[in-house]
Structure 1
C-alpha cells in the first residue's frame, strides 16, 4: 500500500560529481554535488546560489565534471561541509560548513590541467568531462534559491581500463560510480562510507541496523 508523504529530501540516487572550477584569483575550486543529469553531449547541473562554484560558473562559463568511482569515497567525504566562499552563509554554518580555500589538498587529490578549459581536472577520477556553460536558469519557488546550469561537454577523458576495446563506449561492468542516495554514499548497491553531509542535514538514518 502506498502512503502519501511530504518528503523532506528527494535525493533518490544520482552520481556524485566533483566540479572543478576557477576562482576569481585564478586558483582552483573543487566541490561535490549530486544534482546532475545528462542528455546527449549536454548536462544539467543544480547548484545553490550561495555556493562558490555557482559564482565561478557564472563568471568563467566553464568547468570540469570529474566523476569519482565508489573507491574514492574517502576523498569525496573530506570535501563535505566545506565551501570555497570566504563568507559562509548562516544556514551553512548551522549545518557545519567551514571555509576551505584549498580543496584539492584537504581531499588528498591531484590537480591536473585541462586541455580546453581553465578549470582543473582531478587526476584520480576515472572520468573527466571538460565543459562550457551554454545556459543558466533560476531554480526554486516562490523565490529562486538555486541555479540550473546547462553545460556542453567539449572534451572527455576516460581511463583506458573502462573502455570497451575497439569502441568509444564505457564498459558498465567495470564502471562503479559513487552514488549519493538520500545524503548517503553507495557503490555497487552497498553503503560504502559514513556521510558527513547526512549528519549536517540531520538525516534520520540507521544504516547499521539496515545493513
Structure 2
C-alpha cells in the first residue's frame, strides 16, 4: 500500500462530467454556462453555480434550464466559451480572467434548439439535453456559491447513443461524455467493470 501525505489542494475537481447549462433572462435572452459540479439522483439534478454568474441570476428570475451534456469531441467548443461571462459589467472576482460575451452560441459554434417543456433552448450539438425546473436554491460557502436542485421534466438523447433494441436505454459503448479533472478535459476510458445493478438499466423493466 502506497504512503499518503496530507495536501492542501486549491480545488477538489477529482473528475466530473462537464455540463453546459442554458438559461434565459426575463427578456428571453439565453445564456450558456459551463459547469463541472453536476450530479443526478433519481429525477433530480444537483448543480453548483457561482453566486455572481449570469446563470444564477437568470434562474432566480426564470426558474427553468436545460442541462446539456457534451461529448468529448466538444472539448474545444466548451473551452472557447469558458473565459466568457454573460454578466455586464464583469464581476470583480472574475476580472481579468473573464470577458463579457453576449453571444456564447456563436463563440462556441452551438445551435439553438427549441425545448418542449421549458423556455431555455437546448444545445443541438450535445448528445444529451435535459430539460428541468428549479426546485430550490441553497446558499453554500458563505453565499459565494449556490446549490441548485432541479427537477428533470424531459430528457432528449441522440439516437446514435441509444441501444438499438431498447430506445429508452443509453448504449454505454457509444456514449462518450466530456470529463473535467483538475481543470483538464478528458474523454471516457475503457470500461473496467460493471455494478451488480447495471442490468436494471441495461434491460427493459418487465411489468407482469
Whether these two folds match at TM > 0.5 is yes
2:63 equivalent among 61, 64, 68: 61
Q: TM-score, normalised by structure 1?
A: 0.86
Q: Match of 2:145?
A: 146
Q: Match of 1:115?
A: 116
Alpha-carbon distance in structure 2 between the residues aligned to 1:44 and 1:103: 23
Provide the secondary structure at the position in 2 that maps to 1:118.
Answer: coil
- Deviation readout 1:84-120 (Å, 9 max, x if unpaired): 00111222113x1000000101111101110000001
Q: Match of 2:164?
A: 165
5 Å-filtered alignment, 1:183-194, equals: 183-189=183-189
Confirm or deny that 1:51 pairs with 2:50. Answer: no
Extract unaligned runs of 5+ from structure 2.
Answer: 191-208
Give, in angstroms, the shift of residue 23 of structure 1.
2.0
Q: How many pairs were matched up?
A: 187
1:10 equivalent among 3, 9, 12: 12
Give, in angstroms, the shift of residue 189 of structure 1.
4.0
Give, in angstroms, the shift of residue 166 of structure 1.
3.1
Contact 2:25 2:61 in 1 (8 A): no
Confirm or deny that 1:33 pairs with 2:35. Answer: yes
Alpha-carbon distance in structure 1 between the residues aligned to 2:20 and 2:98: 17
Provide the secondary structure at the position in 2 that maps to 1:6.
Answer: coil
Alpha-carbon distance in structure 2 between the residues aligned to 1:106 and 1:161: 26
Q: TM-score, normalised by structure 2?
A: 0.87
Larger Rg computed on CA atoms: 2
- Deviation readout 1:119-177 (Å, 9 max, x if unpaired): 0100111100000001111111xx22111000011000001111112322101111010
Contact 2:83 2:98 in 1 (8 A): yes
Alpha-carbon distance in structure 1 between the residues aligned to 2:120 and 2:72: 23
Alpha-carbon distance in structure 1 between the residues aligned to 2:74 and 2:87: 24
Alpha-carbon distance in structure 2 between the residues aligned to 1:11 and 1:189: 18
Provide the secondary structure at the position in 1 that maps to 2:143.
Answer: coil
Extract unaligned runs of 5+ from structure 1.
Answer: 191-211
Provide the secondary structure at the position in 2 that maps to 1:75.
Answer: helix
2:77 equivalent among 53, 75, 84: 75
